[in-house]
């Protein structure tokens, strides 16, 4: 599976969840954002010129996880690959779970390589335990 196929699957999940997505150019250091709006569909805004090493498909899965898995306490979230608060931990775990569920759907457990997964998505070593666990469950 390549990033294009994977992104089509994540885009389908975004659409099925009733989330709008928009692409725009900001500064390269500006993160993607998701807005949780009252009486409106949530909105994911992807910065198409982001200098993030994390591929767009993973960033989309992260923002999707904020909407579907979040506790609803915030009205907006900026993309962060860190684990600085509970909302980011939830979104990062959801991102890994959504991507792994697609990538490994037809791959036996013994052939799943979490190092390869981390390298493919440019994830820091702080993700190792989450990726290892989720890949075994996917």
Tokens coding 54: 């994390």
Bridge-based pairing state of the strands 43-47 and 20-24: parallel
pLDDT band at 94 (very low <50, low <70, confident <90, very high): very high
Q: Which of 96, 56, 46, 90 is nearest to 72 (CA)?
A: 90
pLDDT in tens, 9-67: 999 999 999 999 999 999 999 999 999 998 999 999 999 999 999 999 999 999 999 99
Alpha-helical regions (H) of the chain: 3-16, 56-69, 86-103, 114-120, 128-137
Look up the pTM and report it.
0.94
Q: In this structure, are residues 27 and 19 in contact, taking their beta carbons and an 8 Å threshold? A: no
């Amino acid at each position: 599976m390549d990033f294009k196929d994977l992104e089509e699957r994540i885009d389908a999940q975004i659409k099925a969840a009733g989330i709008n997505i928009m692409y725009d150019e900001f500064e390269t250091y500006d993160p993607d954002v998701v807005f949780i709006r009252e009486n409106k569909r949530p909105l994911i805004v992807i910065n198409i010129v982001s200098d993030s090493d994390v591929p767009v498909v993973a960033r989309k899965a992260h923002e999707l996880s904020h909407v579907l898995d979040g506790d609803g306490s915030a009205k907006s979230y900026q993309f962060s690959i860190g684990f600085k608060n509970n909302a980011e931990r939830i979104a990062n775990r959801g991102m890994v779970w959504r991507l792994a569920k697609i990538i490994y759907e037809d791959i036996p457990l013994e052939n799943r390589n979490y190092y390869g997964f981390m390298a493919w998505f440019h994830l820091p070593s702080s993700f190792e335990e989450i990726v290892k666990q989720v890949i075994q469950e996917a």
